[in-house]
Structure 1
């Protein structure tokens, strides 16, 4: 009896959290997480700290507002592999929920730990200010992910394909991210056994950036979207029985940034223009800080060589 109560509580918490993030689709990567970044361009050698905070306000009455904080460390090694600059990264995202319940129903804020992300970017400089990159990474949900979200019942395997143009102060970037899982996923322990296997849909995310720098200022437009990929017939039926419905959204907005010297700040606001489930539109606000923690010393310029002319 007690086990059933624990299972019911876990299921209720998962339902609350999923309703809070339904428009994110069944993805671990947050839509818009990488807009404003020239992800396709190789970074100069050094270590970089990037923190992105996203607050999402849902139009649905009595819905739950959500916030996501994504701190990332990237090391641009300068080491080349097949011509690509190797850039290992480490991130520890966290999801926060802020319920807006009707009168008489208590509001209880909560947080869910997303599995630590480990991986690497491989970035190629194609010349003429063009660059492309490939990301291979995994969210270690089985190791340290929270239990509030269905997708955390499996590690999230993540790959990304990006292209950037960064000439003349422009940042024109398109970035496609693929999340895929071990489906069905399972949580460990007695509660996990009571909940049983969870059927997970893979997801695709697209981030688009078009900004221009004017001195220390940066302005421009961003757009991003996410969609679940179709589940197989039997898995879809099982997932539907667990309350799963296909989800997706596409948002557009604007970006303003400023280079303070030691760090750069970006502010973004975006609004859904298309959703799979009508009435679930939302507005997102972003704050991002980018700080180089270490930069490799530049190589000394060679001494000029005297020109000897023979007559």
Structure 2
């Protein structure tokens, strides 16, 4: 198994944690997208035309072999709802660069940019308040200590229900790493995010859940990783912007070395 020199320091416990936070090793499971990222969001709803911005922070902690691994990420997510239609479906576009920070009690620390995500999407309203959508996108190969030198193609599809203060989401993501010096040694993966929230005046609350699993073994001796996490969301309408906080924890995990706790914040606003 080949690891570039700049990534050898991230092996061992780091490899076990890589799936959730998007750190580089061939043993990274769970994909280049963070499981749980889309829960609580109206991913497949058809929004009024315009540019929307989501600033998401994510803080994770997992203890692996006595080493506390902590990560923080800041995702700058731009979503453009166009007035274009294809086959009766509304077309939108996504751009999402990410700033990433990694610290372990073993003494390693790094700060840098993660791979940038690009995608296009089409959505249909199939019933009153119920939307079906499909997205094709992925991550571009990128240099840097905390970026993969390969990319990934990620087809996604799912459902959003948004009516009478209810917001439901089921989002299914497949990932196929490609390119770079180690892309063929990263596993194909599957992720799924779920949430049901209800608004009460300016407040929103509800449960969230996510799961991830490797779909194959890219080299002999590789052990597939998987996890299932649950948690809750609370949000508040600030007037022109929405602030959400999510807390999730693993109920089960396989081959990560330890269960993860994650704290998320979403700040959502329409730019124009």
Q: TM-score, normalised by structure 2?
A: 0.89
Whole-Å Cα distance in 1 between the matches of residues 75 and 183 of structure 2? 28
Identify the match of residue 10 of structure 1 among 3, 7, 11: 7
Q: CA deviation at 1:245?
A: 2.8
Number of the residue aligned with 2:144: 146
Identify the match of residue 63 of structure 1 among 48, 59, 68: 68
Counterpart check, 1:160 vs 2:156: yes
Number of the residue aligned with 2:54: 50
Alignment of 1:23-102 (within 5 A): 25-60=29-64, 61-101=66-106
Identify the match of residue 186 of structure 1 among 180, 189, 199: 180
Q: In 2, are the aligned partners of 1:19 and 1:64 still within 8 Å (CA)? A: no
As a proportion of its length, which structure holds more strand?
2
Residue 79 of structure 1 aligns to a residue whose secondary structure is strand
Q: In 1, are the aligned partners of 2:247 and 2:264 still within 8 Å (CA)? A: yes
Closer, same or farther in 2 for the Cα pair 1:145/1:222, shift >3 Å? farther
Whole-Å Cα distance in 2 between the matches of residues 116 and 135 of structure 1? 16
Closer, same or farther in 2 for the Cα pair 1:199/1:172, shift >3 Å? same
Whole-Å Cα distance in 2 between the matches of residues 81 and 261 of structure 1? 33
Counterpart check, 1:227 vs 2:213: yes
Q: In 1, are the aligned partners of 2:56 and 2:267 still within 8 Å (CA)? A: yes
Q: In 1, are the aligned partners of 2:197 and 2:207 still within 8 Å (CA)? A: yes
Q: Please say which of residues 56-65 and 75-84 is displaced more in the overlay.
A: 56-65
As a proportion of its length, which structure holds more helix?
1
Q: In 2, are the aligned partners of 1:17 and 1:148 still within 8 Å (CA)? A: no
Closer, same or farther in 2 for the Cα pair 1:42/1:199, shift >3 Å? same
Q: TM-score, normalised by structure 1?
A: 0.78
Counterpart check, 1:170 vs 2:169: no
Number of the residue aligned with 1:119: 119
Number of the residue aligned with 2:261: 283
Number of the residue aligned with 2:132: 132
Number of the residue aligned with 1:299: none
Closer, same or farther in 2 for the Cα pair 1:197/1:52, shift >3 Å? closer
Number of the residue aligned with 2:226: 248
Whole-Å Cα distance in 2 between the matches of residues 82 and 137 of structure 1? 19
- Listed one character per residue, the Cα deviations across residues 220-243 of structure 1 (whole Å, up to 9, x for unaligned) are 000001111113xxx431xx3xxx
Closer, same or farther in 2 for the Cα pair 1:145/1:72, shift >3 Å? farther
Q: In 2, are the aligned partners of 1:20 and 1:63 still within 8 Å (CA)? A: no
Residue 18 of structure 1 aligns to a residue whose secondary structure is helix
Number of the residue aligned with 1:297: none
Whole-Å Cα distance in 2 between the matches of residues 165 and 76 of structure 1? 18
Q: Please say which of residues 265-274 and 120-129 is displaced more in the overlay.
A: 120-129
**Unmatched runs of 5 consecutive residues or more in structure 2:** 22-28
Whole-Å Cα distance in 1 between the matches of residues 255 and 89 of structure 2? 41
Number of the residue aligned with 1:272: 250
Alignment of 1:194-213 (within 5 A): 199-213=185-199
Structural RMSD (CA): 2.1
Whole-Å Cα distance in 2 between the matches of residues 153 and 198 of structure 1? 12
Q: In 2, are the aligned partners of 1:138 and 1:158 still within 8 Å (CA)? A: yes
